[in-house]
Amino acid sequence: MNEKEILKIFEEKKAILDGHFLLSSGLHSNRYIQCALVLQYPDIAEKLAKILAKNLIHSKIDVVVSPALGGIIIGQELARQLNSRAIFTERVEEVMTLRRGFEIKKNEKVVVVEDVITTGKSTNEVIEVVKKSGGEVIYIACLVDRSGGKIKFDYPVVSLLKIDVQTWQKENCPLCKEGKEIVKPGSRGLK
């Protein structure tokens, strides 16, 4: 399955939304990628995870770590493909944390997986959790890199789609200036 076919799936499932959106990062955008609309279909989630897994060329991945909420489903599916554990982080008082008895052992090989990367904030927070736990990040994976590849990490990044979507600070947002209603659909403020 190539990028064009994957994009078609996202379009068919109406997972690429147009409007005026407040992103988790605080930025405003005219487009929103709602991966949950694609991942609600287990057969599609499995196919996408298989494609991601094929691009993660490493002898052994011990654990796949994703941030709650958006990364949990693809994290579980990717871990199944890699025959590894799947765990997730959560924010506790605005700090990304491992809870629920999850742990990363010293020197475990880790893939950090997201549904969508926009600014890299959540991804970097998960990376810090992995490093503090003594794990070794091998890859960052995501379904959609909505920065169009502009966000840089210290690790190889594997994404199924690269979509360059415009974002603005509130004070520079042309949609705000037009008076368009804003929607906050992300995991830090579901609507």
Residue 156 lies in a domain: yes
Q: Is residue 147 part of a domain?
A: yes
Residue 22 lies in a domain: no
For residue 135, what are the domain limits?
Answer: 42-164
Residue 35 lies in a domain: no
Burial of 108 (0-12, 13-18, 19+ CB in 10 A): buried
Distance CA 64, CA 137 (A): 10
How many domains would you assign to the chain? 1
Asked if residue 21 belongs to a domain, the reply is: no
CATH number at residue 140: 3.40.50.2020
Evaluate whether residue 32 is within a structural domain. Answer: no
Whole-structure pTM value: 0.88
> For each of the chain's 191 residues, which pLDDT tens digit applies?
899 999 999 999 999 999 999 987 788 999 999 999 999 999 999 999 999 999 998 778 999 999 998 899 999 999 999 999 999 999 999 899 999 999 999 999 999 999 999 888 899 999 999 999 999 999 999 999 988 778 889 999 999 999 888 889 999 999 999 999 999 886 544 33
pLDDT score at 190: 38
Question: Is residue 20 included in any domain, yes or no?
Answer: no
State what percent of residues in the chain have pLDDT above 90.
Answer: 77
The dihedral sign for the CA sequence 51, 55, 58, 61? negative
